Structure 1
Amino acid sequence: MGIGHVQIVYDGQCPLCSSLVRMSRLRLRVDSVELIDARLADPRIEELVAMGYDLDEGMILRCDGQIHHGAAALRMLAELTGKPDLPTRLLRSPQTAGHIYPILRQGRRLLLHLLGRRPFGR
């Protein structure tokens, strides 16, 4: 049974984020995937920020009416891809995703700095 519609809000100026989203095989298990670049003017992004989500702290995945942020979004992304490889299986664990996501977030910050790109809202 497939999942209906999934939205992924990510940093379109971050090569790491873009690669992660492109590499996922969501389209094999999800009926509809909508990729939303958080750097573009979009009322859905404004809504998420107004709800208190900090996009510098993590990507967002909306699925079945629930919002997953940061490590929880990464875990859901791994869950929805259905890939049997070891890295994906490890990321399905909330503990592992919780330990790995801060490293990815710091890598994103460093990469944006090296590329001369600014974090959100600055």
Structure 2
Amino acid sequence: MLTGQETGEIWFVYDGDCPVCTYAARALRIRESVGALHLLDARADRDHPLIQRITAAGLDLDEGMVIAFGDRLYHGADALQVMALLGSSHGWFNRLNAALFRSPAIARIAYPLMRAGRNLLIRLRGAAPIGNLTAR
């Protein structure tokens, strides 16, 4: 997954209508040695070039968050694992994230459950899907 050579800009693309996603975006800290973290709300910034790149790659933002790091896009469980690998040890959220999701197997098992919770929260809030893969 990661070669250990990556540094620079890290983009976390999340659903701004999901309270858990928003908390994760605000709580996530990346080790300083890795690079700068940028947050991108997929609902608020629909015309951002990175959203266009994600859409062109066929990644469904209703099915998972995206981490853009180097020239790669990580989606869903892969993004969760990258967050764990790049995260700092600052704060309980980052320590828990690293402990749980460094393992690809655990990330793959946990992510569908997390996505189901996110989808339930979105429905309860009455928010429409992001729909980045549907024609506007």
Q: What is the match of residue 5 of structure 1?
A: 9
- 1:2 Cα deviation (Å)? 8.5
1:1-122 equivalent positions in 2, closer than 5 A:
3-26=7-30, 28-39=32-43, 40-41=45-46, 42-83=48-89, 85=95, 87-121=97-131
- 1:86 Cα deviation (Å)? 5.0
Cα pair distance change 1:94/1:116, threshold 3 Å:
same
CA contact 1:12–1:38 (8 Å) conserved in 2? yes
What letter corresponds to residue 111 of structure 1 in structure 2?
A: L
- 1:116 Cα deviation (Å)? 1.0
Matched position secondary structure for 2:12: strand
Following the alignment from structure 1 to structure 2, what is the Cα–Cα distance between the partners of residues 93 and 48? 25
Greater percentage in helix: 1
Cα pair distance change 1:7/1:13, threshold 3 Å:
same
Moved more, 12-21 or 29-38: 29-38
Q: How much is the aligned-residue C-alpha RMSD, in angstroms?
A: 2.1
CA contact 2:6–2:70 (8 Å) conserved in 1? no
TM-score (norm 1): 0.88
Matched position secondary structure for 2:129: coil
- 1:12 Cα deviation (Å)? 1.1
Q: Deviations over 1:70-105 (max 9, x none)?
A: 000000001111438455222000000001110110
What letter corresponds to residue 30 of structure 1 in structure 2?
A: V
What letter corresponds to residue 80 of structure 1 in structure 2?
A: L
CA contact 2:101–2:107 (8 Å) conserved in 1? yes
- 1:34 Cα deviation (Å)? 1.1
CA contact 1:71–1:97 (8 Å) conserved in 2? yes
Moved more, 39-48 or 98-107: 39-48
User: How many matched pairs?
Assistant: 122
Following the alignment from structure 1 to structure 2, what is the Cα–Cα distance between the partners of residues 10 and 72? 14
Unpaired segments ≥5 residues, structure 2: none
